[in-house]
Amino acid sequence: MIGNDRLAVRKTYKLYVNGAFPRSESGRTYEVTDAKGHFLANAAEASRKDARDAVVAARGAFAKWSGATAYNRGQVLYRVAEVMEGRHVQFCEEVAAGEGLSASKARAAVDAAIDRWVWYAGWTDKLAAVLGGANPVAGPYFDFSTPEPTGVVAVLAPQQSSLLGLVSVLAPVLATGNTAVVVTSKERPLPAVTLGEVLATSDVPGGVVNLLTGDAGELGTWLAEHADVDAIDLTGAPSHRAMEFEREAAGTIKRVLRPPVTEPDWTADPGLARMTPFLETKTVWHPIGL
């Protein structure tokens, strides 16, 4: 890519779990190719154990992240956008190679992904006002409702849109104060690993986001039935497995975001539809009196 004699130092693409970059404990890797089938890298193929480790990390990170002020979370998410901007060229190359996009289309996807972090960063301290409020009960009580994060959210990220799609499903989970275990696009995992490097240097506490490269069909089962996962987003589930995952999720009454029939247009205005499924409403009553 650079016209001189220097031999490039290639990156080893690994998982991102609990703020570190481990290989899969299984030792498995798989070949990642560009859209034309040329070798790009060997990615770590996450295993059941990796998924379980990721859930432990996400649970451990939940108290601090959900307990942070909304202002603080907003600044951290904005910081992700700042750091991504500095790696713009790298993201464009990876998205172009993996998705087979022209340079200009890849740039548009990366731009939109960065802007999406900014959009969600601005939501953190608005949600309580928009989704909660004081309830005018018929009695001498102060009664108010606030949205709170559900907990640990497993996300099967979209298979096609490797960066914009990934950010579009991850950012709402974080903006609402949840922690995430994400299974990235199987065939296009490289932008996700680079995003992990961005997150690791953006003040996002370790464990808040855990990125597993590998097969959503395999890992989805373990995450859907895992008792310490509170919610699951099935967007990137293989279509013939989604129903099975939803059934498994019922075992612990997980909140389930069902997959769309076809992968949506990720450039559309996201609205609240990816935040409300991962929010609980807490209502607190207290008597009013002298």
Residue 138 as a binder of another protein (CB under 8 A): the answer is: yes
Minimum separation from the CB atom of position 246 to another protein (A): 4
Minimum separation from the CB atom of position 125 to another protein (A): 16
**Choices 34-42, 105-113, 214-222, 272-280; region in contact with another protein by CB under 8 A:** 272-280
* From candidates 93, 143, 225, 263, binder to another protein by CB under 8 A: 143
Residue 18: phi and psi, rounded to 5, are 55, 35
Q: Which is nearer to another protein, 8 or 261 (CB)?
A: 261
| Distance from C-alpha of 181 to C-alpha of 59, rounded to nearest angstrom | 10
* From candidates 45, 99, 230, 233, binder to another protein by CB under 8 A: 230
| Distance from C-alpha of 286 to C-alpha of 290, rounded to nearest angstrom | 13
Q: Token pair 């006002």 is at which residue?
A: 129
Strands (E), the chain: 29-33, 39-44, 133-134, 141-149, 152-156, 179-183, 209-212, 231-233, 255-257, 279-287
| Distance from C-alpha of 42 to C-alpha of 131, rounded to nearest angstrom | 44
Q: Interface residues for another protein in 82-111 (CB under 8 A)?
A: none
Residue 265 as a binder of another protein (CB under 8 A): the answer is: no
Lookup: tokens for 8: 């490039």
Residue 11 as a binder of another protein (CB under 8 A): the answer is: no
Cα dihedral 280, 48, 200, 197 sign? negative
Q: Which is nearer to another protein, 118 or 131 (CB)?
A: 131
**Choices 46-54, 166-174, 191-199, 242-250; region in contact with another protein by CB under 8 A:** 242-250
Minimum separation from the CB atom of position 209 to another protein (A): 22
Residue 249 as a binder of another protein (CB under 8 A): the answer is: yes
Amino acid (one-letter) located at 281: T
Q: 164 in the Ramachandran plot: left (φ > 0), alpha (ψ -120 to 50) or beta? A: alpha
Residue 122 as a binder of another protein (CB under 8 A): the answer is: no
Classify each residue of 32-71 as buried b or exposed e, where b means 16 or more C-beta atoms within 10 Å of its C-beta. bebeeeeebbebbbbbeebbbbbbbbbbbbbeebbebebe
Query: How many other β-carbons are positioned within 10 Å of the β-carbon of residue 146?
Result: 16
Q: How far is CA 53 from the centre of its chain?
A: 16
* From candidates 20, 89, 103, 250, binder to another protein by CB under 8 A: 250
Residue 68 as a binder of another protein (CB under 8 A): the answer is: no
Q: Per-residue x/- mask for another protein, residues 160 to 199, rule CB under 8 A?
A: ----------------------------------------
Residue 243 as a binder of another protein (CB under 8 A): the answer is: yes
Size of the site for another protein (CB under 8 A): 39
Q: Token pair 């560009």 is at which residue?
A: 34
Q: Site residues (CB under 8 A) for another protein? A: 130-131, 133, 135-139, 141, 143, 145, 150, 230, 242-244, 246-247, 249-253, 255-256, 260, 264, 271-273, 276, 280-287
